[in-house]
Structure formats: structure tokens, C-alpha cells
Structure 1
Amino acid sequence: MNLPDIVAELVKAQNEFNSGAYADCFTENAEVFDEGKTYNGKTEIENWIDKANNEYWAKMKPLDYNGSQNILSAEISGTFPGSPIVLKYHFHLSDGQIKSLKITS
């Protein structure tokens, strides 16, 4: 599967539980929407993913990437009820970084 470099970096960072590298995939003023909450800026994004990593140890397995809509479908497995699940990652990319990310089921 052909992923944009920044999306491939995000997947790698997630699978290594590297919260700093994950946050570095985003612009300074990026937004993440997940489970009804919004996280603004790299610091909030890093804190959010670090907490999630420590709680769920979630790994991402890319299944499909729709390049025209910038949507990644990925199987997520970890220490959470119902694992594994398939989630959709809706990206808005800007200058080689992620400007916004919305995660949906």
C-alpha cells in the first residue's frame, strides 16, 4: 500500500509507542478529534497519545488508503475491550505534515 510519507511515519511512531515522534507528524497548531474530544497543538496531541499508549498499547495495521480523500482504514489491536477494531483516520495534510486528524469507527 502506498501511504504518504507522513502517514507512514505516524503508523511507525504508533507501533513503536513513540509519543514524541507521533506528535512530530503534526503541524504546531494541528487538531486531533477522537472519541468526542479535540486536542489542539503538538503538546496536547503528544499528551493524548502518550496516555492512550500507556493505557491501551494499541498497534496499527493499515488495511486501505484512499488517497483522493486522505482516509486510512486500519486495524487497531491492543488492551482495550473489543480489540481488534477497524478505525478510519481522516487526514488533512499541509506541507508534508498533518494539519488535522479525525478518527472514526
Structure 2
Amino acid sequence: MTLPAPIETYFTAEAPQEGPRFAAAFAPEAIVHDEGKSHRGPAEIEAWWKAAKAKYRHRAEPLEVTEARGKTVVRARVSGHFPGSPAMLTFTFGLSGDRITDLRIGG
């Protein structure tokens, strides 16, 4: 499966050491919606990602990629230290050029 470069970075960056590479995949005005909260801009998104990685120690394995309404939708198996692990989650990415502009993560 071939993922667009910024989405590949999203799934392969290692926390916390690759935080700058992870943050660089996001556009300056990017927004992430996860667990009922919104995170705006690369710095805030990087902080959210590092905190989630530390809390859940999770890995996401992309299994399927589709396009829907101008978005790139990735279904992934997420496993880690949380109830219900592993879980199938949907990652809906908006892209502009080589950057992620928005991301919504859901079950």
C-alpha cells in the first residue's frame, strides 16, 4: 500500500525523537480532532502526539487506504496500552501539497 508522504510520516515517525519530522508533516494552520479535543498548528499537534504516545504506547498499522470526498481515509489497527486494544480506527486526512491540513481520528 502506498501512502502520500506526509501520511507515511504520520504513521512511521518514532516518538519522541522524531517530533520535528512528525510536526513538519503538518501545515501551519493544521488541525487534529481526537478524543473529543482539537489541536491546532504543528507545535500543539506535536505536543498532543508525544503525550498520546507516552500515555498509550501505541502503534498504528495502516491496513487500507481510500479516497472519500476529497480526503484520504486510512483504516488502521491500533494496539497499545488502552482498553479494547487492538482497535480498528479510521484516520481521515485532508492534504494540501505535501502537508496534512486536517485529521480526524475515530472508531
Structures share a fold, TM > 0.5? yes
Aligned AA (2:57): W
Q: Which amino acid aligns with 1:86?
A: M
Q: 2:53: which partner in 1?
A: 53
Q: What's 1:6 paired with?
A: 6
**Pairing partner for 2:90 from 71, 88, 104:** 88
Q: Which string of whole-angstrom CA distances, capped at 9 and with x for unpartnered residues, describes residues 27-71 of structure 1? A: 111000001100011111011111101111110101100035410
**What letter is aligned with 1:26?**
F
Q: Share of identical aligned residues, percent?
A: 36
Measured after TM superposition, the shift of residue 85 of structure 1 is: 0.3
Number of positions where the alignment pairs a residue of Structure 1 with one of Structure 2 = 103
Computed over aligned residues only, the root mean square deviation of the Cα atoms, in angstroms, reads 1.2
Separation in 2 of the partners of 1:5 and 1:43? 19
Q: TM-score, normalised by structure 2?
A: 0.90
**Aligned-partner SS, 2:8:** helix
TM-superposition CA deviations, 1:71-91 (whole Å, max 9, x none)? 000000111111110110001
- 1:36 alignment partner AA: G
**Match in the other structure for 1:36:** 36
- Taking structure 1 as the reference length, the TM-score comes to 0.91
**Distance between the aligned counterparts of 2:62 and 2:105, measured in 1?**
14
Unpaired runs of 5+ residues, structure 1, are: none
Residue 43 of structure 1 aligns to a residue whose secondary structure is helix
How many Å separate the matches in 1 of 2:58 and 2:22?
Answer: 13
